[in-house]
């Protein structure tokens, strides 16, 4: 079994410090993988949590609650060619993203994206269990509607040549040194059904800092700071609505093996050479699944109030 590590530093929050898991007013609906890696990596309990609302219940009778979204991110790695466009995987998650124009831009840059429903999860787990020599890494991030969070993919050594198509369809070439790849994520509630999540994804590549330059700081003093060299590909960014219990599947088209498209370093990792001198790869896909937690604000308020109406210390 290949030992596979995916660094997600900088965007994770520890379970003990999240302010959520230890709160008795929180209804947790999904069971994460335990530390020993037991259990199915993708299959877990029904999301949503809490008691089902009474059909005759008025919206004014419902308890006040705050919804918190976590994103469970799985990176599944297997030998090259397992996740191509002809793979059964893309028949399991078969719902396209809403924007046809965004889907076309993604494919032209080597990206594949599809949405799976709650009913597709069992088939997805069955497919993953049948993979040859798989390596699976799982973690969670807590995004915010007001800012982006980063999913660090990893880095490649040396100089990498890439081509990408912008919004006008023009192709642009670039060379990046020791690129570090990441996905930037943001989510919010837009649907009338607050169990559906709107998720935005944007790829980004960062190079090591460049030569220091002089800048004027908030204190109006000049100082030298290293130059940040980030390439954010807004033309390839897209948004998609994930239904309750569903997931987003990200992968690469087969064209990344023939041409150095933008998606290549995000999904292909060098794995040595074949006997005839051809480079071998291992290929990855990403399964991003929103998990919604409900915080009972009324219960939290009641527990915070002092007994008999007295303030603490009286």
**Which is more confidently placed, 16 or 185?**
185
E-strand ranges in 89-196 read 111-116, 135-141, 149-155, 159-165, 171-177, 180-188
pTM beyond 0.75: no
In a domain, 125, yes or no: yes
The radius of gyration of the chain from alpha carbons, rounded to an integer in Å, stands at 22
pLDDT in tens, 158-177: 999 999 998 888 899 999 99
CB 171 within 8 A of CB 183: no
The DSSP secondary structure of 216-258, one letter per residue, reads E-TTS-EEEEEEEEEEE-GGG-EEEEEPTT-EEEEEE-GGGGT
Is residue 203 pLDDT above 50, yes or no? yes
In a domain, 222, yes or no: yes
DSSP-derived 3-state class of residue 118: helix
179's CB contacts (< 8 A; 6+ apart) are 155, 156, 160, 205, 206, 207, 265
In a domain, 53, yes or no: no
Instruction: State residue 15's pLDDT score.
Output: 31
In a domain, 4, yes or no: no
In a domain, 23, yes or no: no
| C-alpha–C-alpha distance, residues 201 and 141, integer Å | 14
pLDDT in tens, 242-299: 998 999 999 999 999 989 999 999 999 888 777 777 788 889 999 999 988 877 666 5
pLDDT in tens, 38-67: 445 555 444 444 445 555 555 555 566 677
In a domain, 272, yes or no: yes
Per the structure, the count of domains in the chain is 1
User: How would you class 254 by CB atoms within 10 Å of its CB: exposed for 0-12, middle for 13-18, buried for 19 or more?
Assistant: middle
In a domain, 21, yes or no: no
In a domain, 66, yes or no: yes
DSSP-derived 3-state class of residue 300: helix
User: Residue 272 sits in which domain range?
Assistant: 61-307
Instruction: State residue 106's pLDDT score.
Output: 93
């Amino acid at each position: 079994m290949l030992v596979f590590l995916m660094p997600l530093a900088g965007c994770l929050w520890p379970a003990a410090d999240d302010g959520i898991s230890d709160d008795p007013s929180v209804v947790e609906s999904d069971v994460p993988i335990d530390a020993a890696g037991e259990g199915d990596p993708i299959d877990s309990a029904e999301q949503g949590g809490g008691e089902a609302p009474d059909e005759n219940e008025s919206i004014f009778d419902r308890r006040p609650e705050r919804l918190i979204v976590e994103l469970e991110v799985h990176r599944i790695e297997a030998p090259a060619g397992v996740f191509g466009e002809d793979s059964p995987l893309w028949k399991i998650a078969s719902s396209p993203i809403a924007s046809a124009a965004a889907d076309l831009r993604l494919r032209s840059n080597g990206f594949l994206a599809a949405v799976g429903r709650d009913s597709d999860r069992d088939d997805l787990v069955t497919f993953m269990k049948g993979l040859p020599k798989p390596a699976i890494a799982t973690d969670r991030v807590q995004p915010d509607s007001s800012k982006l969070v980063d999913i660090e993919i990893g880095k490649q050594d040396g100089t990498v040549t890439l081509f990408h198509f912008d919004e006008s369809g023009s192709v642009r070439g670039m060379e990046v040194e020791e690129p570090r790849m990441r996905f930037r994520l943001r989510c919010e509630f837009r649907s009338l059904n607050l169990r559906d999540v709107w998720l935005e994804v944007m790829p980004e590549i960062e190079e090591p800092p460049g030569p220091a330059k002089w800048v004027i700081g908030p204190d109006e003093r000049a100082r030298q700071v290293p130059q940040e060299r980030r390439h954010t590909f807004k033309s390839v960014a897209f948004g998609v609505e994930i239904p309750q219990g569903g997931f987003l599947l990200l992968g690469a088209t087969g064209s990344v093996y023939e041409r150095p498209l933008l998606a290549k370093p995000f999904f292909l990792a060098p794995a040595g050479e074949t006997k005839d001198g051809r480079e071998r790869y291992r290929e990855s896909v990403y399964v991003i699944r929103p998990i919604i937690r409900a915080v009972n604000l009324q219960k939290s308020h009641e527990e915070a109030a002092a007994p008999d109406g007295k303030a603490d210390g009286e």
